[in-house]
Structure 1
Amino acid sequence: MENTTDGTWDTMAVELNDNILETLRELKFTHMTPVQAACIPLFMRNKDVAAEAVTGSGKTLAFVIPILEVLLRREEKLKKMQVGALVVTPTRELAVQINEVIGRFLQKFPQFTQMLMIGGNNPMEDVEKFKERGAHIVVATPGRLEDMFRRKGDGVDLAGSVKSLDVLVLDEADRLLDMGFENSLNAILSFLPKQRRTGLFSATQTQELEKLVRAGLRNPVRIVVKEKGTADSATVRTPARLCNYYTVCRAEDKFNQLVAFLRQHKHQKQLVFFSTCACVEYFGRALEILVKKVRVHCIHGKILFLIFAFVHRCGRTARIGNHGNALVFLLPMEESYVNFLSINQKCPLRKMPAVNDVVDVLPKVKALAQADRAVFEKGMKAFVSYVQAYAKHECSLIFRVKDLDFSSVARGFALLRLPKMPELRGKSFPDFQPVALDTDTIRYKDKQREKLRQKTLAELKLRQQDDDKTRTKKAVGNHAWSKQKAKKNRRKKNAAKRKRAQCSDDDDQDIEELMKDTRLLKKLKKGQICEGDFERQITGGANH
């Protein structure tokens, strides 16, 4: 079926709860999309569903509404530690978005609790939160969910809690498999009851996905939502009304190109994705200053997005039948990513020439950093996080951190100096010129923050002085001890020398007397003296 509107919510074939309809109106969702019109009635008639639809076709409401309706219609109400619905999704970002949508509906259903289980925080926090509050609806990423199932020793029995499960949803199932979660999914499925409703949503159908369908769903109804004008949905993974472009530029030109592009399209709504939340904080602050008369909102949910998935990011536009455009900035060494997207992700891109009349805004960003330590520190953190995210890119054959021109990237980040980090250790960067400024002297614009920094610096200085005094005192003590030891050693040496000299004199005297006795003995043998004379002289010599 084509991706056009398919009637209003009030005309749906099944009756929906009034509070659900009211929330839909508050969210300004007046019309259903085809995937919603097809999936919701089937779900509510206890059918398993395997739906294939492009990103941005409204899949989230297609399973959130059935989850709420199924739980509301339970004969036996859920207890505190019973899980009624489980949504598994590949990324933290998507999990947060789904959890927020569910939260909007649950404002009118306080009898239900929800919980987000994703990586990035201490798993024991999730354990304690679940033990304290339980969760009727759980939204999770596979790794953290599998880990929670195995934490019975920590006092949480998630395997026991899901025995009451009514609905399982595997969202972006193709991505779950692409990202290597097959083993985790099989482990998770082994804990779940067989009597449940299961919904599997994906942008494409593959052989690997077919195996998952057979393992996790029972005689599912298959739904394929095709884009208007496409004969085969498997050839396209993004909405037909979405035009995808790419442009190639050096790392040091990328931000200038972005600012120029946003200035030219300031009258349109723009969504800009960066690889990390630190980059969002830094460049978002710069854009507030550089793009005039435009409101800039920084949204990242304190989540570090280590994987850049263009297909799923660009699907945030051209949603629910609307038109949209997506543009990705690539470095020259990354241009082969275009072919990868076209062949492997079924997402062709058209090349967009670089923006003309680009103004170099990087000096202004540097000036911002020199005027406010907060901006300086944000830039350093953004650079570090960017390099670390690049090193963990899912397409590592194309995005290789060893090929990055760190000097060019640093210039593109308008850094005042390079940070100390393992990736830069032992390398020289003659193409990067740090500013002639002691960055320790840069002050915070926030007076309270600067006051606290100065206090900390003063304390560190006092501590350093105390350490220096201790080292000096110890050095002086060591010097005096060394001096005394040397003097003692000299006395020992002189005494030994005198002893050797005395021994030497005694030896000389003994030798002289022995020679005298020898001469007397020779005279005796020659008859020159008699024995009486010999004895007298020998005895006299001895008494002398």
Structure 2
Amino acid sequence: MSKSNQTFTDRWLPTLNPKILKFLKGKNFDKMTPVQAITIPLFLQHKDVCVEAVTGSGKTLAFIVPILEMLLKKYSNETRFDKHHIHSLIISPTRELAQQTFDITNEFIHSFDGLNHFSCILFVGGTKHDHDIEQYQNNGGTIVIATPGRFEELLKTKTNSFNLGANLKSLEMLILDEADRLLDLGFLTSINTIFEALPKQRRTGLFSATQTDEIEKLIRAGLRNPVRITVKQTGSASDQRTPSTLKNFYMICEPNEKLNQLIHFINEHRPAKIMIFFSTCACVQYFGSVLKHLFRSSPSTKIFSIHRKLRNKRATVIEQFRAETSTTATTVLVCTDIVARGIDLPDVDWVIQFDPPTTVVQFVHRCGRTARLGRLGNALLMLLPNEEAYVNFLLNSQKVPLKEMTAADALKIENVVPIVRELATSDKGVYDRSKQAFVSYVQAYAKHECSLLLRLKELDLCGVAEGAFALVHLPRMPELRNRDKSKFNQENQTVNAESIPYKDKSLAKKKQMEKDDPTLKIKKRVKTVAFSIQKENKLRKRLKRLRREQAENERIAGAEDAVAETEKHIDEIANEYSKLKRQRRLQRFNKIQKTKKKNGELELSENEQLSDME
């Protein structure tokens, strides 16, 4: 399992409340990390703080400890304490990160013997609004931890007995956790709405792993003269984005060997706690079932899967994986980027990226699931021969050096592709998932941020379908039209997909019902639209988006240049949009006039047509 490497600095401030120090000591947090040593005193001095620190550097305790310290002082000095008055608000980008922060905060509060006057409440999606309102009315919420979308919805919900905005007047602390991720997920409008509901006299902390222009705008909008903190790892390059205790490797695999190399790697590094990242939900669903089948005879190997579509089951999966601490078992979490940021999963030994992430920033966050809080960790990126240039791109853009790990000899390792194909030919559910996974992989690859380096034209699609996905048949998709498919899986070309049974009885019943009554099956039909209409719709959407951006920029002080640039774009697109609308009106009226001319009616002039239309 992961080993420790001391990267901690000073001991906890002796002026902190003894209850907090007692809890930290009980959790073996004897010293502060650098980000905690710098940030906590600033919060307690009533400063706004903007923190940039690598993932796994202990940012969560850097804001939870000062919040609790302030609350304990407030409780000791005030006899009357309204549990419904919100003292602190913590905004997290995902429900998993919000749940993790809530669990840590609750654990602190429950350790404070005899203090039941303040509480912590969680507002995230996946539950009914009525449930959140009832919990708040019954238990209060001195500390509110929420995702921005749900908190914005609750702010707009006002009844005789519930008005969240009125209880924010006493707010003293606002925390924006993983702020860059909040913006990536499109929560800027929600955050600005929340800003408007909060008192101006407050302390604000913004925590992020990266600093961007969008973050700067957010800082100008929500923070007052913040102290800027950038924490770098000792012993690493000055701009390196990954922890210094992390060893990064890459492996070049031939397309027809990739799955075999993955299984061999897991077997060679057992016992271990491993996370395997894939690009899409469909890939996680498919490879999760494949790994469970391949390791079904190994009682010491547990496979978990998590992706966005699991909804309310995600918290359970995270807790199960987190609870696995055996030093004799191998635990594997097959996942998407839903757990790439902020989630603390202790003692992860290896992070494997089965294919390049869509952005280099996500590469950094994926790797950050291991080597947390000074522990040692390892990360492996599996690449195809045409993707090797991605290694240098990571070095130049993120200052992350990767060391090559030689792939095992293909002739000396087990070939699991026939086993997986046998599984697919015995269960139509797996067969369908395999094709869906491959299609989603190709679509994600085509949208990659580094499309100049990772070109779909250079990707051996048939090789990947055979060796990485172990497909029985190739799906019908435009990307395969001009590819040589003659050598793909010659052995199973006679397999009839329609004759493969579904092992899942409920799925088999559903498919049979859809077969008997085609109206039950809802298909997403792509409507064919004329190019001129497509262009008009595209321009209209772009015009709306730019106007929204203009409104956001106008809210932010000091963004005059951005406003001017947006206005310029709006004028250009508005003119182009007007011309296109005029042309389309003329086309429609010309068509009408031709019909009228045939019927002997008088034809209108061009100007008369436009005036009549307007």
> TM-score category by the smaller chain?
0.5 to 0.7
* 1:168 maps to which of 163, 174, 178: 174
CA RMSD in angstroms comes to: 4.2
Residue 312 of structure 1 and its aligned partner are, at CA, apart by: 0.8
> Which residue in 1 is equivalent to 2:469?
413
| Structure 2 residue matching 1:338: 3-state secondary structure | helix
> Which residue in 2 is equivalent to 1:352?
405
Q: Which amino acid aligns with 2:377?
A: G
In structure 2, relative to structure 1, the CA distance for the partners of 1:278 and 1:66 (3 Å cut) is farther
CA distance in 2, matches of 1:378, 1:227: 42
> Which residue in 1 is equivalent to 2:495?
437
In structure 2, relative to structure 1, the CA distance for the partners of 1:455 and 1:49 (3 Å cut) is closer
In structure 2, relative to structure 1, the CA distance for the partners of 1:184 and 1:457 (3 Å cut) is closer
**Structure 2 residue ranges without an equivalent (≥5):** 312-335, 339-357, 519-614
CA distance in 1, matches of 2:402, 2:448: 20
Residue 313 of structure 1 and its aligned partner are, at CA, apart by: 1.0
CA distance in 1, matches of 2:152, 2:215: 23
Q: Indicate if the aligned counterparts of 2:260 and 2:417 stay in contact, CA closer than 8 A.
A: yes
| Structure 1 residue matching 2:306: 3-state secondary structure | coil
CA distance in 2, matches of 1:195, 1:55: 30
Q: Whose Rg is larger?
A: 1
| Structure 2 residue matching 1:272: 3-state secondary structure | strand
Q: Indicate if the aligned counterparts of 1:287 and 1:296 stay in contact, CA closer than 8 A.
A: no
* 2:372 maps to which of 312, 319, 334: 319
> Which residue in 1 is equivalent to 2:593?
none
CA distance in 2, matches of 1:98, 1:396: 36
Residue 199 of structure 1 and its aligned partner are, at CA, apart by: 1.6
Residue 328 of structure 1 and its aligned partner are, at CA, apart by: 1.3
Residue 334 of structure 1 and its aligned partner are, at CA, apart by: 3.8
CA distance in 2, matches of 1:146, 1:403: 46
In structure 2, relative to structure 1, the CA distance for the partners of 1:113 and 1:248 (3 Å cut) is same
Residue 157 of structure 1 and its aligned partner are, at CA, apart by: 5.9
1:276 aligns with 2:285: no
CA distance in 2, matches of 1:323, 1:211: 36
In structure 2, relative to structure 1, the CA distance for the partners of 1:229 and 1:113 (3 Å cut) is closer
> Which residue in 2 is equivalent to 1:86?
89
CA distance in 2, matches of 1:287, 1:365: 9
Residue 50 of structure 1 and its aligned partner are, at CA, apart by: 2.6
TM-score (norm 1): 0.67
* 1:368 maps to which of 423, 446, 466: 423
CA distance in 2, matches of 1:385, 1:78: 51
Q: Indicate if the aligned counterparts of 1:96 and 1:116 stay in contact, CA closer than 8 A.
A: no
CA distance in 1, matches of 2:18, 2:90: 21
CA distance in 2, matches of 1:277, 1:16: 45
> Which residue in 2 is equivalent to 1:117?
124
Q: Indicate if the aligned counterparts of 1:251 and 1:408 stay in contact, CA closer than 8 A.
A: yes
| Structure 2 residue matching 1:382: 3-state secondary structure | helix
CA distance in 2, matches of 1:387, 1:462: 32
* 2:135 maps to which of 126, 133, 136: 133
| Structure 2 residue matching 1:51: 3-state secondary structure | strand
CA distance in 1, matches of 2:18, 2:478: 56
In structure 2, relative to structure 1, the CA distance for the partners of 1:78 and 1:332 (3 Å cut) is farther
Q: Indicate if the aligned counterparts of 1:99 and 1:116 stay in contact, CA closer than 8 A.
A: no
Q: Indicate if the aligned counterparts of 2:90 and 2:177 stay in contact, CA closer than 8 A.
A: yes
CA distance in 2, matches of 1:203, 1:65: 20
> Which residue in 2 is equivalent to 1:241?
245
User: Residue deviations 1:335-360, cap 9 Å, x none?
Assistant: 44334433333333333333334432
> Which residue in 1 is equivalent to 2:55?
55
Q: Indicate if the aligned counterparts of 1:252 and 1:413 stay in contact, CA closer than 8 A.
A: no
Residue 263 of structure 1 and its aligned partner are, at CA, apart by: 2.0
Aligned residues: 446
Q: Indicate if the aligned counterparts of 1:243 and 1:325 stay in contact, CA closer than 8 A.
A: yes
> Which residue in 2 is equivalent to 1:4?
7
Percentage of identical aligned residues: 45
> Which residue in 2 is equivalent to 1:469?
none
> Which residue in 1 is equivalent to 2:209?
203
CA distance in 1, matches of 2:248, 2:284: 22
CA distance in 2, matches of 1:195, 1:105: 27
Q: Which amino acid aligns with 1:64?
A: I
Residue 314 of structure 1 and its aligned partner are, at CA, apart by: 0.4
Q: Indicate if the aligned counterparts of 2:152 and 2:194 stay in contact, CA closer than 8 A.
A: no
Q: Indicate if the aligned counterparts of 1:417 and 1:435 stay in contact, CA closer than 8 A.
A: yes
Residue 368 of structure 1 and its aligned partner are, at CA, apart by: 2.5
Structure 1 window deviating more from structure 2 (50-59 vs 355-364): it is 355-364
Q: Indicate if the aligned counterparts of 1:242 and 1:317 stay in contact, CA closer than 8 A.
A: yes
Q: Which amino acid aligns with 1:61?
A: L
CA distance in 1, matches of 2:380, 2:388: 13
Q: Indicate if the aligned counterparts of 2:53 and 2:230 stay in contact, CA closer than 8 A.
A: yes
Q: Which amino acid aligns with 1:244?
A: N
CA distance in 2, matches of 1:328, 1:311: 11
| Structure 1 residue matching 2:263: 3-state secondary structure | helix
* 1:328 maps to which of 376, 381, 384: 381
In structure 2, relative to structure 1, the CA distance for the partners of 1:104 and 1:196 (3 Å cut) is same
CA distance in 2, matches of 1:392, 1:128: 40
TM-score (norm 2): 0.60
5 Å-filtered alignment, 1:13-24, equals: 13-16=14-17, 18=19, 21-22=22-23
Q: Which amino acid aligns with 1:43?
A: F
CA distance in 2, matches of 1:214, 1:459: 57
Residue 425 of structure 1 and its aligned partner are, at CA, apart by: 9.6
In structure 2, relative to structure 1, the CA distance for the partners of 1:459 and 1:312 (3 Å cut) is closer
Residue 261 of structure 1 and its aligned partner are, at CA, apart by: 1.9
5 Å-filtered alignment, 1:267-306, equals: 267-290=271-294, 292=298, 294-300=300-306, 302=310, 305=337
Q: Which amino acid aligns with 1:296?
A: K
CA distance in 2, matches of 1:92, 1:333: 37
| Structure 2 residue matching 1:366: 3-state secondary structure | helix
Q: Indicate if the aligned counterparts of 1:50 and 1:220 stay in contact, CA closer than 8 A.
A: yes
In structure 2, relative to structure 1, the CA distance for the partners of 1:19 and 1:146 (3 Å cut) is closer
Residue 310 of structure 1 and its aligned partner are, at CA, apart by: 0.8
In structure 2, relative to structure 1, the CA distance for the partners of 1:50 and 1:382 (3 Å cut) is same
CA distance in 2, matches of 1:459, 1:210: 55
CA distance in 1, matches of 2:203, 2:483: 59
| Structure 1 residue matching 2:302: 3-state secondary structure | coil
Q: Indicate if the aligned counterparts of 1:93 and 1:305 stay in contact, CA closer than 8 A.
A: no
